[in-house]
Amino acid sequence: MTTGTGPERPLNVREATYRVLRDLGLTTVFGNPGSTEETFLADFPDDFRFVLALQEASVIAIADGFAQANRTPALVNVHTATGLGNAKGNLMTAFLNRTPLIVTAGQQDRRMLLLEPWLTDVEPEVMPKPWVKWAYQPARAQDIPAAFMRAYTTAIQPPAGPVFLSLPLDDWAAPALGPAVVRSASARTGPDPAGPDPDGPGEPMPASRPLPPGLSRESLEQGVIGKAIELLSGPGGLASFLRRAQLGARLGGPSQPLDIGYSDNVPAAIRNAVKARDLFCQWAGGCDQPASACEVHHLKHKGHGGETSLDNCILVCFFHHNVMIHRRGWTLVRNADGTTTAWNRDRSKVLRSHGPPARAG
């Protein structure tokens, strides 16, 4: 075991780790180091690049963008304990982005951890959670190179995401067990295209059974569809439950029909829906009467075949409904864009809730 330069001597953990990182293509390190990270950066290889940021949150953000742009994992080195705390907000972003980051932080000298001196991360595997897929502090210095191999594999395998290693500052000069084994790691997943092997371990897929006598596939499909409709529709259905759970008391009641064809009266469900949609009088000339002072008007009169539905109903105040429309004969329509237009009997007067369209030219 040699370093490859100078006289032969045992490989140390730092050298073995940099060999692993080089083989994995992790030669760019993003960091904001402190005293507990200095020993990792000592004798920094010439073929590696260190990108320094002024705060740990910025380090994570830069590495996140780098990894996404290059579609490759990124290596991060932040300061122990509170430095990792500074990084945690953007670590959450990287986790939600599914960005493969290998985040490392220094740790106090192993010989001092029992006393928990300043700069000790007391529970290093806990602090970055839940925003990492895996967090680990090697039990001994010699495990660091292999820990980087597992961290790399865990970070890239779907769903990709950050991982964390806590690395005591006195581990790097310790003798390594030898060059670490660099394994291939796949980021692809998918079902076995051949399906279950009847001759392999486990039970083969059971053969499909014939339908009972008198039951056709068509009737079975209709029965399943009917049950699905029962589950999704109606006052007790899934759609009603989701609306009641999400929209609150005002709109969260049981499911109600909003189109009932001809009706002598406007049902409460349609009246409430019209009020919730229109909010105030929709008279084209402009009126600020609130919904509580308004009535529901059929845009197409019931006597002319107008239906009692949400689309055919509109909110207007008592004056515009009873005086302008029913006594003076004005007509009110709602346009496709939601605006309204009104005109008198002989169309000599036209009111709009919006300006007329500009003339061509």
pLDDT in tens, 183-242: 888 877 766 665 555 555 555 555 667 777 777 878 878 878 777 766 666 666 666 666
Q: Which residues sit opposite 164 in a β-bridge?
A: 103, 135
Please give the pLDDT value at position 352: 86
Identify which of 87, 105, 102, 93 has the alpha carbon closest to the alpha carbon of residue 154.
Answer: 102
Identify which of 253, 256, 260 has the alpha carbon closest to the alpha carbon of residue 234.
Answer: 256
Low-confidence ranges of the chain (pLDDT < 50): 1-5, 361
Identify which of 97, 104, 103 has the alpha carbon closest to the alpha carbon of residue 160.
Answer: 97
| 62 CB neighbour count, 10 Å cutoff | 18
Segments making up each domain of the chain, as ranges: 13-168, 260-352
For residue 77, the SS3 value is strand
Q: Could you tell me where the DSSP H helices lie in 279-339?
A: 318
Amino acid at the residue 267: P
Please give the pLDDT value at position 157: 93
Please give the pLDDT value at position 10: 86
Please give the pLDDT value at position 3: 46
Tokens 């009535």 correspond to what residue?
Answer: 295
Please give the pLDDT value at position 191: 66
Q: CA–CA separation, 168 vs 140, rounded Å?
A: 9
What is the phi/psi pair of residue 230, to 5°? -60, -40
Q: Show the tokens assigned to 311.
A: 């689309």
| 162 CB neighbour count, 10 Å cutoff | 34
CATH architecture of 13-168: 3-Layer(aba) Sandwich (3.40)
Average pLDDT, the chain: 84
Q: What is the pTM of this model?
A: 0.53
Q: How far is CA 14 from CA 6, 21, 67, 94, 299, in A?
A: 17, 11, 24, 27, 80
Q: CA–CA separation, 222 vs 290, rounded Å?
A: 47
Q: Show the tokens assigned to 12.
A: 């140390």
